[in-house]
Amino acid sequence: MEKKPRAIKDKRYEEKHKAERKAKNATWGTSVPREKVEQINAFLDKYGYTKVQLIEAGYKALLDDAAEHNLSLGKIMDGYDDFFGFESEKNKS
Please give the Cα distance from 12 to 18 (Å, whole number): 10
pLDDT tens digits for range 44-53: 999 999 999 9
Confidence of residue 8 (pLDDT cuts 50, 70, 90): confident
Asked whether residue 62 is assigned to any structural domain, the reply reads: yes
Return the pLDDT at 92: 45
Return the pLDDT at 46: 98
Q: What is the 3-state secondary structure (H, E, C) of 13-33?
A: HHHHHHHHHHHHCCCCCCCCC
Asked whether residue 11 is assigned to any structural domain, the reply reads: no
- Give per-residue burial for 54-71: e unless 16+ CB within 10 Å, then b: eeeeeeeeeeeeebeeee
pLDDT tens digits for range 21-54: 888 888 888 899 999 999 999 999 999 999 999 9
Confidence of residue 4 (pLDDT cuts 50, 70, 90): confident
Asked whether residue 76 is assigned to any structural domain, the reply reads: yes
CB 87 within 8 A of CB 72: yes
Q: How many domains does the chain have?
A: 1
Q: What residues make up the domain containing 45? A: 28-92
Asked whether residue 6 is assigned to any structural domain, the reply reads: no
Asked whether residue 61 is assigned to any structural domain, the reply reads: yes
What average pLDDT is seen over the chain? Answer: 81
Please give the Cα distance from 88 to 79 (Å, whole number): 14
User: pTM for the complete prediction?
Assistant: 0.57
Asked whether residue 80 is assigned to any structural domain, the reply reads: yes
By CB atoms closer than 10 A (0-12, 13-18, 19+), residue 2 is: exposed
